[in-house]
């Protein structure tokens, strides 16, 4: 009889992609994916370790699974992702009911690991061992999207790992060294996706701007701007996006793409992290506030309508009120369309965990609130600039009477579903909407006449 598998994914799109791959591999091994945790034969937690809170969530969920396993002794529990890679077999000490720990570069071995477990091998023989540091992985194999694919937006991984070693960040230790995926593999995956009806592709990596600098194929000379141009030309790619860029590697060649490539969407996620040069230095971000602002200006000169978003960390060790004010100043100068902002937290195996002058939790909380309140006001003001304009949107959710869509600049728009049956909007369709209302997180409009 077939077994069922429930996968819960935390963290970034890399993890989402990995979950999809694990589910596909398990489907080939006879497992049926289910949407409910209760009653599943196998539960996979694909975990994230980027901030302390993310890790706490995983352990509290594992605590709850202990109860489920008591009632259902045959239940198998797998921990995958960045917490798995970071903790290795230590997880068994705290959570003895876990059956397998799968490292970030072992996902292809999961079906085999489960089989070995059933055949009587011990979980310690099978699971990820932190002592054996990982080698360069066999590069992500191409798995065709499932035939039941209903999404029209998809992420395509173009590189794994990261070599930047920002002092606060776990990614270099949980994902390993940066490695670029061969161009041919990427284009083959894009072809498969568009053949299945996918219309929007997002190229994915921790630092896409350095694509091609670290490739397994020595003769490959394609840089990120070249890869964008190649992908944009593929038939069926209506919209092209990418994430994430590191300001230090943002070249004018990449900025030029926004002028030349019509299907490249005018949205740029450019994490600044902090506005003070001394904090940026301690973070090991290899740019200054001046260089960041210069890149923003340049980007806007190539593409005036580009929407810029960012990531910010408040309360990095040693951050003074004056340092924080400089982050606020960057916000005032750039006027980001939106941002993700976080309180700094110490992470295992990172250098900043050992830095002195940790900022008080209460102060971090206050700074975060000040930043977010001001960002909300700016987002609202920015969003109001769209009122009265007609924008192209792609439909992404159809509810009775109401449609949710996304602009090329990555804004969410809600509008009433057309009443005439002649206008039949489907997921992935593009249409024009005239914006008549702006909130801080989304826009409203009506179909353009």
Q: Summarize as ranges the residues that interact with ligand SAH (CB under 6 A).
A: 50-51, 168-169, 206-207, 244, 246, 271, 273, 311, 313, 342, 344-345, 347
Q: CA 169 to CA 246: how far, in whole Å?
A: 14
Q: CA 134 to CA 90: how far, in whole Å?
A: 17
Of the residues 42, 50, 107, 186, which one makes contact with ligand F3S according to CB under 6 A? 50
Decide the pairing of beta strands 338-343 and 307-314: parallel
Of the residues 49, 309, 375, 379, which one makes contact with ligand F3S according to CB under 6 A? 49
Task: Indicate whether 315 belongs to the interface with ligand F3S (CB under 6 A).
Answer: no
Task: Indicate whether 11 belongs to the interface with ligand F3S (CB under 6 A).
Answer: yes
Query: Min. distance of Cβ 12 from ligand F3S in angstroms?
Result: 3
Query: Min. distance of Cβ 207 from ligand SF4 in angstroms?
Result: 5
Residue with tokens 């002092």: 167
Helix, strand, coil percentages, rounded to 5, for the chain: 40, 20, 40
Backbone angles phi, psi at 148, to 5 degrees: -85, 15
Query: Min. distance of Cβ 79 from ligand SAH in angstroms?
Result: 20
Q: How many CB atoms lie within 10 A of CB 352?
A: 21
User: Residue 116 belongs to what H/E stretch?
Assistant: helix 110-118
**Residue 99 contacts residue 76 (beta carbons within 8 Å):** yes
Query: Min. distance of Cβ 50 from ligand SF4 in angstroms?
Result: 8
Q: CA 270 to CA 279: how far, in whole Å?
A: 17
Query: Min. distance of Cβ 350 from ligand SAH in angstroms?
Result: 7
15 binds, among ligand SF4, ligand SAH, ligand F3S, none (CB under 5 to 8 A by kind): ligand F3S
The smaller minimum CB distance to ligand F3S, of residues 196 and 207, is found at 207
**Residue 115: strand, helix, or coil:** helix
Crossing angle for the helix pair 110-118 and 13-28, nearest 10 degrees?
50
The smaller minimum CB distance to ligand F3S, of residues 48 and 98, is found at 48
Quick note: the x/- pattern for ligand F3S over 114-153, rule CB under 6 A, is ----------------------------------------
**Total residues in contact with ligand F3S, by rule CB under 6 A:** 13
Query: Min. distance of Cβ 20 from ligand SAH in angstroms?
Result: 20
Query: Min. distance of Cβ 77 from ligand F3S in angstroms?
Result: 19
Q: How many CB atoms lie within 10 A of CB 437?
A: 15
**Interface with ligand F3S in residues 162-181 (CB under 6 A):** 170-171, 174-175
**Residue of 165, 215, 73 whose CA lies nearest to 349:** 165
Omega before 126 within 30 of 0, i.e. cis? no
Q: What is the CA radius of gyration of the chain?
A: 23
Widest CA span of the chain, in angstroms? 67
Q: CA 102 to CA 126: how far, in whole Å?
A: 9
Q: CA 347 to CA 285: how far, in whole Å?
A: 17
The smaller minimum CB distance to ligand F3S, of residues 12 and 395, is found at 12
Of the residues 5, 6, 15, 161, which one makes contact with ligand F3S according to CB under 6 A? 15
313 binds, among ligand SF4, ligand SAH, ligand F3S, none (CB under 5 to 8 A by kind): ligand SAH
306 binds, among ligand SAH, ligand F3S, ligand SF4, none (CB under 5 to 8 A by kind): none
DSSP category for residue 264: B
Among the candidate windows 12-20, 251-259, 312-320, 352-360, which touches ligand F3S by CB under 6 A? 12-20
Query: Min. distance of Cβ 433 from ligand SAH in angstroms?
Result: 31
The smaller minimum CB distance to ligand SF4, of residues 3 and 286, is found at 286
Task: Indicate whether 105 belongs to the interface with ligand F3S (CB under 6 A).
Answer: no
Query: Min. distance of Cβ 250 from ligand SF4 in angstroms?
Result: 13
Query: Min. distance of Cβ 270 from ligand F3S in angstroms?
Result: 17
**Residue 186 contacts residue 220 (beta carbons within 8 Å):** no
CA-CA distances (angstroms) from residue 128 to 102, 131, 159, 248? 5, 9, 22, 34
For ligand SF4, the binding residues (CB under 6 A) are: 162, 164-166, 169, 171-172, 206-207, 246
CA-CA distances (angstroms) from residue 177 to 26, 133, 135, 414? 27, 11, 9, 41
Of the residues 81, 266, 275, 445, which one makes contact with ligand F3S according to CB under 6 A? 81
266 binds, among ligand F3S, ligand SF4, ligand SAH, none (CB under 5 to 8 A by kind): none
The residues that touch ligand F3S, with contacts defined as CB under 6 A, are 11-12, 14-15, 48-50, 81-82, 170-171, 174-175
């Amino acid at each position: 009889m077939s077994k069922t598998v429930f996968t819960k994914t935390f963290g970034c799109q890399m993890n989402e992609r990995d979950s999809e791959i694990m589910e596909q591999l398990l489907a080939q091994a006879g497992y049926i994916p289910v949407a409910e945790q209760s009653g599943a034969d196998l539960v996979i937690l694909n975990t994230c370790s980027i901030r302390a809170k993310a890790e706490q969530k995983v352990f509290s969920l594992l605590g709850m699974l202990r109860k489920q396993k008591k009632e259902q002794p045959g239940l198998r529990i797998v921990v995958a992702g960045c917490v798995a890679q970071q903790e290795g077999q230590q997880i068994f000490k705290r959570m003895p009911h876990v059956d397998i720990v799968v490292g970030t570069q072992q996902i292809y071995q999961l079906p085999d690991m489960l089989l070995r477990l059933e055949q009587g091998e011990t979980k310690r023989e099978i699971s990820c061992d932190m002592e054996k540091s990982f080698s360069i992985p066999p590069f992500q194999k191409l798995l065709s999207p499932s035939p039941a694919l209903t999404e029209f937006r998809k992420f395509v991984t173009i590189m794994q790992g990261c070599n930047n070693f920002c002092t606060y960040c776990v990614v270099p230790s949980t994902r390993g060294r940066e490695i670029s995926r061969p161009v041919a593999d990427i284009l083959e995956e894009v072809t498969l996706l568009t053949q299945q009806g996918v219309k929007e592709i997002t190229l994915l990596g921790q630092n896409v701007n350095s694509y091609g600098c670290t490739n397994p194929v020595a003769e490959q000379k394609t840089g990120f701007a070249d890869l964008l141009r190649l992908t944009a030309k593929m038939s069926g790619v209506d919209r092209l996006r990418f994430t994430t860029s590191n300001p230090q590697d943002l070249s004018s060649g990449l900025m030029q793409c926004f002028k030349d490539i019509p299907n490249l969407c005018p949205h740029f996620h450019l994490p600044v992290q902090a506005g003070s040069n001394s904090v940026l230095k301690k973070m090991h971000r290899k740019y200054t506030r001046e260089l960041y602002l210069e890149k923003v200006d340049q980007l806007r000169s190539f593409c005036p309508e580009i929407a810029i978003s960012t990531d910010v960390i408040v309360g990095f060790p040693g951050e003074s009120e004056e340092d924080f004010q400089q982050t606020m100043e960057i916000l005032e100068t750039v006027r980001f369309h939106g941002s993700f902002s976080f309180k700094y937290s110490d992470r295992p195996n990172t250098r900043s965990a050992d830095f002195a002058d940790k900022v008080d939790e209460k102060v971090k909380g206050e700074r975060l609130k000040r930043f977010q309140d001001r960002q909300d006001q700016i987002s609202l003001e920015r969003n109001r600039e769209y009122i009265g304009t007609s924008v192209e949107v792609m439909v992404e959710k159809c509810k009775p009477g109401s449609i949710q869509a996304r602009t090329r600049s990555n804004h969410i728009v809600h509008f009433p579903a057309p009443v005439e049956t002649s206008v039949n909007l489907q997921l992935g369709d593009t249409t024009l909407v005239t914006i008549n209302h702006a909130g801080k997180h989304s826009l409203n409009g009506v179909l353009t006449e």
